Amino acid sequence: MAEAKRRGKRTSQEQMTAIVDFIEVHKILLSGKCHPLQAKELEEKWSELSEILNNIPNGARKDVKQWKTFFSEWKSKTRKKARLAKEHLVKTGGGSYSTEQLNEIETRLINVCGWVSIIGCNELPEEIDPDAESIFERDIEVSTIEIDLINEATEFEVLDEPAVESSVGPSTSSGRLQDRGSNKSGMYKLFVKNAA
């Protein structure tokens, strides 16, 4: 007879509070990504947190990998719960009040992780046009940058001329190299549109 997989204890509220307390101080655990020189520090912090959590009485006992998984899933579920509560608030109609409310520890978790994934970021445009030209259409000046390819010397000259459109390809490009013809020094003129 196969031995049934035993379910461990559930993570206690004390353990969840300890996770948020620890992460408020050690924010490196939020990203899970760091510079290669910080990878050892990241693993040490997870080991330290795991030891703290496993020493809390009447709570779950997990290894580092399991605590990482728990944190990731808890963060995801809490964000989803917050998004559902927000969506319910903006709905119209006389329906019942949402039961999806964040408790104190979940609110602290969202405060540490950030609200952008829940409420959005009003500073970003709703839709970004992939055409780079359209992004810089406003307040454009033409600057001439001469680049000496042989001597690697760079000279900048700002002209107060109206915008010059490029004739390369079917659409307007934001910059192009123009050969000076018989100039043997390797000088090229680069027309670049800069925001004023």
3 located within any domain:
no
In the listed set 119, 143, 178, which residue is the last one of a domain according to the structure? 119
157 located within any domain:
yes
The pLDDT of residue 182 is: 45
Question: Domain limits at 38?
Answer: 13-119
Please check whether residues 107 and 141 belong to one and the same domain.
Answer: no
Please check whether residues 54 and 102 belong to one and the same domain.
Answer: yes
The pLDDT of residue 162 is: 53
Burial class (CB in 10 A: 0-12, 13-18, 19+), 67: buried
Tens digit of each residue's pLDDT (9 = 90 or more) over 78-125: 988 888 887 777 776 655 666 678 889 998 998 888 766 666 655 544
Is the CB of residue 58 less than 8 Å from the CB of residue 13? Answer: no
pTM for this entry: 0.54
Total domains in the chain come to 2
Report the distance separating Cα 109 and Cα 121, nearest Å: 19
In the listed set 85, 119, 153, which residue is the last one of a domain according to the structure? 119
7 located within any domain:
no
Query: What value does the mean pLDDT take over residues 37-57?
Result: 90
The pLDDT of residue 83 is: 84
Residue 68 has pLDDT above 80, yes or no: yes
DSSP E strands in the chain: the ranges are 140-148, 154-158, 175-179, 187-195
The pLDDT of residue 2 is: 46
Residue 33 has pLDDT above 50, yes or no: yes
Tens digit of each residue's pLDDT (9 = 90 or more) over 152-162: 444 445 555 55
Residue 44 has pLDDT above 80, yes or no: yes
In the listed set 119, 151, 169, which residue is the last one of a domain according to the structure? 119
